[in-house]
């Protein structure tokens, strides 16, 4: 990719491609907002197969039992760097 370039990822830190020449910007959201948005994302895409209530999703979100793993582990993985 010609410089300057940008790549947007939703990956955790340990899965993000590395380059010594790159600069990384990690953008985060309020966890409450993230949970509500993620719930609607899961409900609106049938291939995810989630048909539960928000309360059910909230429990899954807090326990980390959602697609892509625990949200808070994701945050901490980036914050450590």
Q: CA–CA separation, 66 vs 70, rounded Å?
A: 7
Q: CA–CA separation, 2 vs 53, rounded Å?
A: 45
Q: CA–CA separation, 33 vs 13, rounded Å?
A: 21
Q: Catalytic amino acids?
A: 10
Helix (H) or strand (E) holding 60: helix 54-63
């Amino acid at each position: 990719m010609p410089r300057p370039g940008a790549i947007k990822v939703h990956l955790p830190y340990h899965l993000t491609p590395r380059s010594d020449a790159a600069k990384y910007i990690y953008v985060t959201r309020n966890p409450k907002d993230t949970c509500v948005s993620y719930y609607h994302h899961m409900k609106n895409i049938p291939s995810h197969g989630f048909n539960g209530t928000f309360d059910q999703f909230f429990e899954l979100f807090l326990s980390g039992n959602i697609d892509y793993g625990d949200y808070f582990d994701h945050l901490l993985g980036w914050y450590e760097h």
